[in-house]
Amino acid sequence: METNKKRQIAILGSTGSIGTQTLQVVEEHPECFEVYALTANQRVDELIVQARKFCPEAVVIGDDTKYEYLKEALSDLPIKVYAGYDSICQIVEAQPIDVVVTAMVGFSGLRPTIVAIKAGKAIALANKETMVVAGELINELANEYRVPILPVDSEHSAIFQCLAGEMHNKIEKIILTASGGPFRTFTKEQLEKVTKEQALRHPNWSMGAKITIDSATMMNKGLEVIEAKWLFGIGAEDIEVIVHPQSVVHSMVQFVDGAVKAQLGTPDMRLPIMYALSYPQRLDTKWDRLDFGKIGQLTFEKPDLERFPCLRHAYDALTMGGNMPCVVNAANEVCVSAFLNERIAFTDISRLIERAMQSAEYKLKPTLDDYIATDCEVRKMVETWI
Ligand code: MN
C-alpha cells in the first residue's frame, strides 16, 4: 500500500455490524484510509452521526422516504446526499474510490458489487450472499476487469492469509472452522422449540441478526462453503467443515504435502476487515491478543448434518450448481426473516429450504437476469408456504 496516498473507501451498509467496525478500522489508521462514501438502507440517524464524524464526499440512504430528513440534517456540511437503491449502485462508480466494502445484507449486495467491479474498484467482500448467488459470474467479471476480491469473512480471510506466499502450491483441502452456534449441543427435540432470543445469543461473535440466525442453523457455514469454492477455486468435495467451539482457529489450508496452515486470532472482525483494506501489508493494532495460557485447549468435532440439515442443503446446492445456490439463498433469506418475526419455528427454516430446492425451476447456466428472476420467484413461493 502506498503510504503517501490514503486509500479511498466506500462502505455499503455502513450502519451494520461490519460497516461500523470498518469505520473503527479507519479511525485506527486515519493515515491510511479515508471514507469517500457511506450507504445505509434504513438506519438514517446512525448514518447522520457517521457522516458528521467522517465527512465523506457522499452518503446514500436506501429508503428514499428518508431523503429529505437526511439532507436537512447534513445541510451545513459539504456532503452530497442521495437516496434509493439505484443511487447505491451508482455511487460505487465515483472515480476517487479505491475499494468498496460490500457490507450490506443478502441478495441486495449483488448489483452494486457488479457495478463496482465494472468500474475497476477493489472489492472487500463482506456480503457473502453475492458469491453464493453468483460466484461464477463475479469471478468472470473480476478477471475481465482485473479487480481483486478481498475476503472479509473471517474464515476466508484466514484462508487468504494462509495462502500468502504459497504462489502456485497446490491446495489439497480447505478446512473451514465453525463455532457450532448456540445450539451445538441441542437435541433434535430441543431444536424444535428454540426461541428467537436464544438463537440471537451467539456464544463467540457479535454480529447482525441475519448472520446470527444463519450461524444457529449452520446455514452460515453452508454459505461459506459456497463462498470458499468461488473465492479459492476449490471443489465442494475438498472443502471440509469442522466444528471448533472456541473460534480461535479461523480456518485452515492443507497442502499436497500434508502440511496444514492455520490462522488464529481473537474473534474480532476488525482484523479481517483491516487485512482486506491494507493487504498485502499488516498494520499495527492495540486490540486484544490471544492468551494461550488462558485458552487452555482447542477442541474440534465433526458437524452433525442430521441436526443441522442446512449445511447439507448448501453442499447439495453447490454440487448441483447452476441457480441452486441462488434458490437456497433466497429461501433462506425469507425463512430467517420469518423466524425473526416469529412466523415460523427454527426447524421450519431447513424444511422450507429443502422444499424450495425441490420446487424451484433449475437452470444450469444462469445469466444475471436468471439469478434476479430465481431470487424473486423463490421468495414469492416460500412466502406462500409460511
Ligand atoms: Mn464467517
Query: Residues 174, 155: contact at Cβ < 8 Å?
Result: no
The dihedral through the CA atoms of 139, 227, 208, 300 has a sign that is negative
Q: What is the DSSP letter of 106?
A: G
E strands of 41-120, at which residues? 58-61, 80-83, 99-102
Give the distance (Å) from ligand 1 centre to CA of residue 221.
7
What's the Cα-to-Cα distance from 178 to each of 58, 191, 247, rounded to whole Å?
A: 37, 18, 7
- Reply yes or no on whether the pLDDT at 213 is more than 80: yes
> Model confidence over 278-336: pLDDT tens digits?
999 999 999 999 999 999 999 999 999 999 999 999 999 999 999 999 999 999 999 99
Instruction: Assess whether 312 and 210 both reside in one domain.
Output: yes
pLDDT band per the 50, 70, 90 thresholds, residue 175: very high
Ligand 1 centroid to Cα of residue 68, in Å, is 36
- 220 part of a folded domain: yes
Q: What is the pLDDT of residue 83?
A: 98
User: What is the total count of domains within the chain?
Assistant: 2
Give yes or no for a contact between 132 and 366, defined as CB atoms under 8 angstroms apart: no
Domain that holds residue 131: 7-151
Residues 145 and 164 in one domain: no
Residues 34-59: tens digit of each pLDDT: 999 999 999 999 999 999 999 999 99
266 and 134 share one domain: no
- Predicted pLDDT of residue 207: 79
Q: Is the pLDDT of residue 3 over 60?
A: no
Residues 6 or more apart whose Cβ sits within 8 Å of residue 7: 1, 32, 33, 34, 98, 99, 277
CA distance 109 to 183: 29
In this predicted structure, what is the pLDDT of residue 202?
82
Residues 217 and 314 occupy one common structural domain: yes
- Residue 384 forms part of a structural domain: no
Q: Ligand 1 centroid vs 224 CA: distance in angstroms? A: 7
291 and 147 together in one domain: no
Q: Are both 316 and 169 inside the same structural domain?
A: yes
- What's the gap in Å between 154 CA and the centre of ligand 1? 5
| pLDDT at 1 (0 to 100) | 53
> How close are the terminal C-alpha atoms of the chain, in Å?
50
Residue matched to cell numbers 433469506 = 333
**Claim to verify: residue 46 and residue 117 sit in the same structural domain:** yes
Which residue, of 90, 119, 151, is where some domain finishes?
151
- Indicate whether 164 belongs to any domain: yes
Gap from CA of 178 to ligand 1 centroid (Å): 8
Residue 23 lies in a domain: yes
Q: Is residue 32 part of a domain?
A: yes
pLDDT beyond 90 at 9: yes
> What type of residue is 88?
I
* Spacing, Cα 344 to ligand 1 middle (Å): 25
Q: How many CB atoms lie within 10 A of CB 191?
A: 17
What are 111-140's pLDDT values in tens digits?
A: 999 999 999 999 999 999 999 999 999 999
Do 190 and 289 share a domain, yes or no? yes
Model confidence, pTM: 0.94
Average pLDDT, the chain: 96
For residue 206, tell me if it sits in a domain: yes
Q: Is residue 347 part of a domain?
A: no
Instruction: Kindly state the cell numbers that stand for 11.
Output: 462502505
Q: Above pLDDT 70, what percent of the chain?
A: 99
Looking at residue 4, its pLDDT comes to 63
* Each residue's pLDDT tens digit, 187-209: 999 999 999 999 998 878 777 88
Q: Are residues 89 and 202 in the same domain?
A: no
Q: How many residues does the chain have?
A: 386
User: How close is the Cα of 95 to the center of ligand 1, in Å?
Assistant: 31
